[in-house]
Amino acid sequence: MKKIAFALLAAVLLCCSCEKEGVFNPKRKISMIRAGESQQPIMEYVWDGNKLAYEKFYDPDGSINDVVLTPEYDGNRIVRVNESDGSYAEYKYDGKFLSEIIWHLNDGVSVSQGKVTHKNGKISEISMTGAPEYNAKLMRRLFPKNVADKAFRMIKEHSNAKLWMELIYRFEWTGDNVTKMTCEIKDPNDGTVMDFLTCTFEYDNMLNPTCCSWAEFSDQTNMLSTLAVGLDMNLSKNNFTKVITTMELVIWGGQTEQMTDTMTYTYEYDGKYPTKRVGTSVTGEFEGMDVLYYEYTK
């Protein structure tokens, strides 16, 4: 498969501030995300009225790649996201809340699934089980890029194609924003925790343009696309301004290694929505800066 799109990553795109999970209908609709000072296009949103019709993704050279994501709806709620190679993510609901996500290959075989738990009307836990290579991709969409890169390396070290792995994400909320998120990676043999990741978030008071989005993914073969979508936090109503990540890795002999990184984000706005974001790594091994630009429908 030339491009592997993991629509199951949409498991973590739901937003508990939405009146009904699975509905992506913001007042101001995003149309394009660009990256870098050259404003390279990386993701395009195409709308049909109030519904997202499909998403297109761009390669680093600016050409449209072969990945297209097309949602299917029950009323105004997304119940399935089809990928251009025939694979798809299926979404199940219990009332207004998401209860389960199942990721299928193009032959219909299920390779990963997520059980979603709520508390006080908010997502409190997502338990993912599946082939390690698929669960690793989930990390790229759930966390900012600097976090995802660490997590991806961690999972890759433990990956065994013959085994399934369990990842448990837990969320703490303040209002409509996730302020703390943890992830446990469990050994598929005995269920012991192999590694542990913690993220804390601070926010502005402006609106996140991709809050409540579903048709998203991360493609590890397209690093520019990964940069764009990996830096968006679609669980929360507002835009994060600071992310502190701590990861504890279990190494040989039962010893642990801890890594910490801090990212800060500044924005330019048009009204309540961001038009530019600059992220800077201020500690840890990921030093440097990244820039994203947001465009909206007229």
Residue 23 lies in a domain: yes
Q: Is the pLDDT of residue 296 over 80?
A: yes
* Eight-state DSSP code of residue 3: S
Q: Is the pLDDT of residue 6 over 80?
A: no
Let me know if 84 is exposed, middle or buried by CB neighbors in 10 A (0-12, 13-18, 19+).
Answer: middle
Residue 25 lies in a domain: yes
Kindly report, residue by residue over 232-270, the tens digit of the pLDDT. 457 789 998 998 888 777 665 667 778 788 888 999 999
Question: What's the whole-number average pLDDT of the chain?
Answer: 75
**Which two structure tokens, joined as six digits, stand for 217?**
């993914």
**3-class SS of residue 134:** helix
Structural domains of the chain, count = 1
* Single pTM value for the model: 0.78
Kindly report, residue by residue over 108-128, the tens digit of the pLDDT. 888 788 899 999 998 899 888
pLDDT of residue 60: 73
Q: Which letter, b or e, does each residue of 184-213 get, where b requires 16 or more Cβ atoms within 10 Å of its Cβ?
A: bbbebeeeeebbbbbbbbebbebbbbbbbb
pLDDT of residue 287: 54
pLDDT of residue 66: 72
Kindly report, residue by residue over 13-65, the tens digit of the pLDDT. 433 345 678 888 888 999 998 988 889 898 899 999 999 999 888 877 777 77
Residue 202 lies in a domain: yes
**Which two structure tokens, joined as six digits, stand for 51?**
């519904």
Residue 50 lies in a domain: yes
Which pLDDT band holds residue 294 (cuts at 50, 70, 90)? very high
Residue 2 lies in a domain: no
**Which two structure tokens, joined as six digits, stand for 45?**
């949103």
Residue 215 lies in a domain: yes
The answer to which of 28-32, 208-212, 273-277 has the lowest mean pLDDT is: 208-212
Which pLDDT band holds residue 93 (cuts at 50, 70, 90)? very high
Q: Which residues span the domain enclosing 120?
A: 7-296
Kindly report, residue by residue over 160-193, the tens digit of the pLDDT. 444 567 778 888 999 999 899 888 877 766 777 7
Q: What CATH number should be reported for the domain holding residue 282? A: 2.40.160
Q: Averaged over 265-288, what is the pLDDT?
A: 83
Residue 1 lies in a domain: no
Q: Cβ atoms within 10 A of the Cβ of 259, count? A: 16
